[in-house]
Amino acid sequence: WYACPVGLTSMHSGDSQPPGGPPSHIYPTVYSHRWTGKAGPAGKYELSPSPEGKVKEALHNDFWDHLKEQLSATPPDFSCALELLNDIKEILLSLLLPRQNRLRSEIEAALDADLLKQEAGRGALDVSSLSKYILNTMTLLCAPVRDEAVQTLEDIADPVGLLRGIFQVLGLMKMDMVHYTIQSLQPPLQEHSIQYERAEFQEQLDQQPNLLDCTTKWLAQAAADLSTPPASPDSADSSGVASPPGEAASSPEPLSPSVVLSQGFLNLLLWDPENEEFPETLEMDRTRLEELEAQLQRLTILASVLLVASSFSGSVLCGSPQFVDKIKRLTKALMEKFNPGPENALQTLSEQVSQEIHQSLRNMGLTALSSENTASLIEQLQSIAKKENCVRSVVDQRMRLFLKSCLLLGVQRALLDLPGGLTFIEPELAELGQNFISLTHHNQQVFGPYYTEILKTLIPEDQALKTKEEAL
């Protein structure tokens, strides 16, 4: 993604220079090295146990020991220190934004290579004072997440240890700048991606005028689903959205482009994989949609298990985050182990959940489950494997209601009014909703003009005016 400044080796996947290492040009690199990607306290990186990594660590330690010997000599030898200070200056300059001209001039003046060389020649180079100036500058430039690491360096009295710590934190600050740069580039890159995808599709559409036939059928089916009144006020439509209390069964919700399109996206999570009439505009997203459908099914089973377990364990256990988390871990682990079919997973899970409830009730001094209740619990958990199971059906409807709310209102607002029984899996729902919105939002940005033209033919003009049709 980027080229490091002087003194830091370019970072590549699986083969990167750690922030705490000395400049690569000070000693020859003979051995390859491999670092883990996780930083510990104060930004310290851990070496992998490979022989190459151990050699590199030894070389780094030798360098810092050599620097200490130079600075402790009489008179001091500042040759390596000058190299380090010059590299630090280059890194600090690379962290500046274009408009920070005044700070750029200050850094260049304070760490001017010629001036430092003259001071070193006179034996008057004050490494400690320069290190304090560097720390003050780092405080101005670092992200808030690095404030503690920089403050920790201020307590280091040893000049060599301080320089080594400075390099470690500067390495992390450099990565912070890279992440910031990537984020700032995302909007123009995304806009370019949208325009490119639309142009490519238009080129194909010019050659194949019927390229939108399946897309038209898909949106027509979504409009038909919304126009068909439910059998009763308490029943749910095909998206799992129940009619509001007191609403007449013969009054389906008014059609609008956003509502029809949201219904269409929800219908894709029920798509028959053998159905070849998949919307042309979503062909590139088909794999991701299948992954979201699988994630939705796993969460539906998870929420169903938690609902059944809560009905037998009581409010005391269900109010315990530790108990809920343990049931979650058990369910997720077994669902992953027995993927894709849930039957075997729930067979094993039912026994483990009943044991967990039984033991937890005993530990809290409460009445344990009777043999009759235990058998009923196991039976109800195992029956969740069937799609027609009443608990699973209700949870599935509520999950789709949540996703529809995400599309129309956003994830945060949808989370504020979660349907009953889904509060146990709120974090997982937030992730699912965000993934679903990201996919549909990008698709809508690319193909919105085509959807608008199709929906004009599907939504009656009087309804369009009534709902104040918005541009997609």
SS3 134: helix
pLDDT at 286 exceeding the cut of 50: yes
pLDDT for 251 equals 54
CA separation for the pair 135, 158 (Å, rounded)? 14
Q: Mean pLDDT throughout 317-334?
A: 83
Enter the tokens of residue 295. 């994630």
Name which residue leads in pLDDT, 108 or 178. Answer: 108
Residue 273's φ and ψ, nearest 5 degrees, are -60, -20
Q: Which amino acid makes up residue 358?
A: H
Q: How confident is the model at residue 340 (pLDDT cuts 50, 70, 90)?
A: low
* Residue spans of alpha helices (H) in 126-228: 127-141, 147-153, 159-207, 213-227
pLDDT for 5 equals 33
pLDDT for 261 equals 93
Q: Which helix (H) or strand (E) holds 310?
A: helix 286-318
Kindly report the length of the chain.
Answer: 472
pLDDT for 464 equals 55
CA separation for the pair 275, 314 (Å, rounded)? 44
pLDDT tens figures, 381-439? 889 988 889 999 999 999 999 999 999 899 999 999 888 889 889 999 999 999 999 99
Determine if residue 66 is left, alpha or beta; phi over 0 gives left, psi from -120 to 50 gives alpha, anything else beta: alpha
> What pTM was computed for the model?
0.59
pLDDT for 49 equals 55
pLDDT at 32 exceeding the cut of 80: no
Q: Mean pLDDT throughout 336-358?
A: 79
Q: How confident is the model at residue 21 (pLDDT cuts 50, 70, 90)?
A: low
Residue 428's φ and ψ, nearest 5 degrees, are -65, -35
Tell me: cis bond preceding 187? Omega within 30 of 0 counts. Answer: no
Name which residue leads in pLDDT, 239 or 55. Answer: 55
Lowest mean pLDDT among 52-61, 292-301, 450-459: 52-61
pLDDT for 396 equals 93
CA separation for the pair 38, 410 (Å, rounded)? 33
* Residue spans of alpha helices (H) in 44-158: 51-72, 79-94, 101-110, 113-121, 127-141, 147-153
190, 199 in Cβ contact below 8 A? no
Most confident by average pLDDT, 29-38, 61-70, 333-342, 370-379: 370-379
pLDDT at 143 exceeding the cut of 70: yes
pLDDT at 250 exceeding the cut of 70: no
Q: How confident is the model at residue 160 (pLDDT cuts 50, 70, 90)?
A: confident
pLDDT for 230 equals 55
CA separation for the pair 156, 149 (Å, rounded)? 12
Q: Mean pLDDT throughout 339-364?
A: 80
Count, in order, helices (H) and strands (E) of the chain.
17, 2
Q: Which residues contact 277 (CB under 8 A, 6 or more apart)?
A: 214, 217, 218
Q: Which residues contact 251 (CB under 8 A, 6 or more apart)?
A: 229
Q: Mean pLDDT throughout 300-325?
A: 83
What percent of the chain shows pLDDT beyond 90? Answer: 33
Question: Per-residue b/e over 282-302, b at no fewer than 16 CB within 10 Å?
Answer: beebeeebeebeebbbbbbbb
Q: Mean pLDDT throughout 82-92?
A: 91
pLDDT at 31 exceeding the cut of 80: no
pLDDT for 243 equals 39
What percent of the chain shows pLDDT beyond 70? Answer: 80
- Token look-up 């809560």 returns 310
Q: Which amino acid makes up residue 205?
A: L
Q: Which residues contact 212 (CB under 8 A, 6 or more apart)?
A: 205, 280, 281, 450, 454
Average per-residue pLDDT in the chain? Answer: 79
pLDDT for 326 equals 86
Enter the tokens of residue 443. 């698709």
Q: How confident is the model at residue 128 (pLDDT cuts 50, 70, 90)?
A: confident
